[in-house]
Each structure stands twice: as structure tokens, then as C-alpha cells.
Amino acid sequence: MNLILLGPPGAGKGTQARMLQEHFGLMQIATGDMLREHIKHHTDLGQLAQNYMNQGQLVPDLVVIQMIEHRISEADANNGFILDGFPRTVPQAESLDKMLARRKLKLDHVIEMRVDEDALVERIAGRFSCAACGEGYHDKFKKPAREGVCDKCGFGQFVRRDDDRADTVRKRLAAYREQTAPILPYYQAKGKLTSIDGMAEIDVVQTQIRQLLRPQA
């Protein structure tokens, strides 16, 4: 099964993708995480991407398309994947169709997570993640069970993202409206798009997605 999770910054794509990965064994492929790894390791691609990301702008299409083409060719994507953060423009969506066709793969679902903009700002402002395993948390909505200790790996240090500052978040939201939202009709026309309520609690959103993925009788 191959899925796309679509939605504005803070909609909960990463949170839901990690839960789906654990439950279904699908591979989460998150372009934002991949780009942050490049930045961490000071690669040329990372240096290029950092300038765009810190300003809340999208990284050029060609860069992310090549990154995804390489990633979906790796063995661990063979059992199915969840694209989180890709595609984000119409040219990216068109390139994805071509890549999948070349590999005789199909896209099963495109799931749009709808969330109010005010809630997004609150979600992003309270977000932090484990510095070791990357598990995501929130100051209010998803605290670690033991304060200061990651539920998943037991590490005791957390990080916040550079692009989660209020001014950058507003630019990221504008980029979503202007460059990413136009891909919704693209997938609607192909009969792939389902919109779900991303305002519900984390577990309730997960249940909505799993119901959608259940084989239809």
C-alpha cells in the first residue's frame, strides 16, 4: 500500500505517519526529515536547502524529486510507503506519477488532513522531538509519560526546529496555500483524494485513517 499524507504545516502528518509505520509496517518517507538530515551532516544539498527552509520557502522541485526518486528505490520501501511532505507542488505530483509508473507501482490513497490555521500555530509552537530517535511530542497535546524522558527510546534530550518560529510558520502556511493546495484538485480528479478531520485528537485521527485503509467488502 502506498499513501500520501497531505496537509499544512502542523496538521499532524508526521505524527500519523509514524503511527501508521508502526501499525502497518509501511515506510514513512518524510522529505522535511530527509532535508534536516542533510543539514545536520553539512552536505551540499543541506546547505542549499537550509536557506529555503529557514525562510519558510519550498526547496526547488528538482532537488526533492531526485531525493524521492532515490529513496523509493531502496529495498525498505518495497512493502509500501507513506509520503509525508511530498509532493508539495503540481510538478512534484506529476513527477511522482511518472516515477511510480516506471516502477509499476500504484498510489492507493491521498489523505488530506484538514486543520484550522489557529490550531496549526499552537501545534507548531508547542512541538518538540527526541534528540536521539526523533519521536515527536507537544507541550500540551502529547507530553512524554515521564517528564524529560523519551517514551520510545528513553533518551533525555529534546530539540525544537529552527523553522518553527512564528514569522517562519506564517510563511510556511502561505507556501502551503499558494503552492501545495493546488495539488488537491489534481488528486481529486484522479479519484484518489479523501479529506479527514485533522482537528480531532491524535488517536481519533489515526482511527479515521485506519478505517479508510481497511479493505472494502
Sheet holding 193-197, edge to edge: 27-30, 81-84, 2-6, 109-114, 193-197
The three-class DSSP label of residue 113 is strand
The three-class DSSP label of residue 193 is strand
List 2, 10, 27, 112, residue binding ligand AP5 (CB under 6 A): 10
CB of 13 to ligand AP5, least distance (A): 4
Considering only residues 122 to 161 of the shown chain, the ones binding ligand AP5 according to CB under 6 A are 123-124, 126-127, 136-138, 141-142
Residue with cell 510563511: 171
CA-based nearest residue to 49, from 177, 58, 173: 58
- Say how far apart CA 46 and CA 53 lie, in whole Å: 10
Which residues neighbour 41 within 8 Å (Cβ) at sequence distance 6 or greater? Answer: none
Interface mask toward ligand AP5 for 11-50; x: CB under 6 A: xxxxx---------------xx--x---------------
Question: One of 161, 165, 170, 171 is an active-site residue; which one?
Answer: 161
Q: Say how many residues touch ligand AP5, by CB under 6 A.
A: 35
The three-class DSSP label of residue 178 is helix
96 binds ligand AP5 (CB under 6 A): no
Residues annotated as catalytic (active site), given as ranges: 13, 88, 127, 161, 172
The residue ranges that bind ligand AP5 (CB under 6 A) are: 7, 9-15, 31-32, 35, 52-53, 56-59, 64, 85-86, 88, 92, 123-124, 126-127, 136-138, 141-142, 172, 201-202, 205
